[in-house]
Amino acid sequence: MPRVLLTGANGFVAVAILQVLLEKGHEVVGTVRSESKTTFLRNKFSKFVEGGKLHFAIVQDIVPKGAFDDVLKTYTFDSVIHTSSPSTTDAKDIQKEMLDPAINGTISILESISTCAPTVKRVVITASIASIANISKGNWPGKVYTEQDWNPLTLEESLSNPLLGYVGSKLFAEKAAFDFVEKNKPHFSITTLCPPIILGPPEHEITSLKKITRSLEDIYDVFSGATEPRYSAWVWADVRDVARAHVAATDCPAAANQRYLISAGNYSPQYIADYIWKHYPERAIAKGIKKGNPGVLYPEEGVFAIDNSKSVKDLGMSYNDFDSMMKDTLKKFEELEAEGK
């Protein structure tokens, strides 16, 4: 079976990808920033570690030139899934702390694969809808985003505040990847995947429910009674769907040098509260869970939508529905609460 390099292997999305890869029989080498980051994964996937199907490599800093050279020389790979990317939203120096690491980190691994990994045929890169959506248009009723859309954000605009810096880091890193392929004509092709807000049951290490991925906070903060439903985006993806898309893209001929919008479609944060009050009424009362505006899901004028047909056609995607995601995610939260997290 193919051997895959998975960067940032301990992350929310990456652990979901790791599960799919191992279930499908792939051999995986996962990179993490320190040996301590492997402990949880070694325990969770112990049978695969013992069976020689899962290995780890330490890459402390993904940005410097040659950061991945050692691991790429140590093993022979068929494909690379690059999920690792510096992420911060409170940078003081946006260029140095957000844009440069994202762009240079992407270029660095592509250069290393070019020189050190002649057997790699496909590199799959975790991108973001941030590089597709034009945030200056806001809700943009009637707009349907596709892979043909590119965020028109300029470098100057991205330097104006950390939020736009984050958007710029995703946009310019993805563009840098395609520019690299166009300029260098490497022996491999790339595929970029652009999900919006990613929800779903977390399988990565969580030491405290007070320290979870921001997208999961949007659900747990309502479930715990801390906040009302808050807007994050009008479109979403289940982390398990995002994982399946990454694995499908590793060997899909049609996905060569293509980008994909990976999303189940529209959702409203209000539906989180509505679901909890419907399915967890006793908890909702006990914790004083805020109702928000029950049943009022979208602004009267409407919101933008997405077209995921390309991912369905090329990658064979079928997307989980919001109810099943909520059911599985809240069950996981209850398990973590029972563990004292």
Q: Which two tokens stand for residue 227?
A: 């906040």
CB of 270 closer than 8 Å to CB of 292 = yes
The predicted pLDDT at position 122 comes to 98
Q: Which two tokens stand for residue 10?
A: 């301990």
CA 100/CA 78 separation, integer angstroms: 28
**Among the ranges given (17-31, 42-56, 81-95, 181-195), the one the predictor scored with the smallest mean pLDDT:** 81-95
Confidence category of residue 292, pLDDT binned at 50, 70, 90: very high
pLDDT at residue 124 tops 70: yes
Q: Which two tokens stand for residue 333?
A: 């939260």
pLDDT at residue 86 tops 90: no
Percent of the chain with pLDDT strictly greater than 70: 99
Question: Which residues, including other chains, have CB under 8 Å from residue 162's CB and lie 6 or more apart?
Answer: 88, 89, 90, 91, 94, 98
CB of 41 closer than 8 Å to CB of 9 = yes
166-201 pLDDT, tens digit per residue, is: 999 999 999 999 999 999 999 999 999 999 999 999
Confidence category of residue 259, pLDDT binned at 50, 70, 90: very high
User: What is the β-pairing status of strands 235-238 and 79-82?
Assistant: unpaired
CB of 205 closer than 8 Å to CB of 211 = no
Q: Which two tokens stand for residue 12?
A: 């929310």
The predicted pLDDT at position 231 comes to 82
User: Under DSSP, is residue 193 helix (H, G, I), strand (E, B) or coil?
Assistant: strand
User: What is the β-pairing status of strands 265-266 and 235-238?
Assistant: antiparallel
CB of 21 closer than 8 Å to CB of 4 = yes
pLDDT at residue 116 tops 70: yes
Q: Full-prediction pTM beyond 0.75? A: yes
CA 114/CA 95 separation, integer angstroms: 26
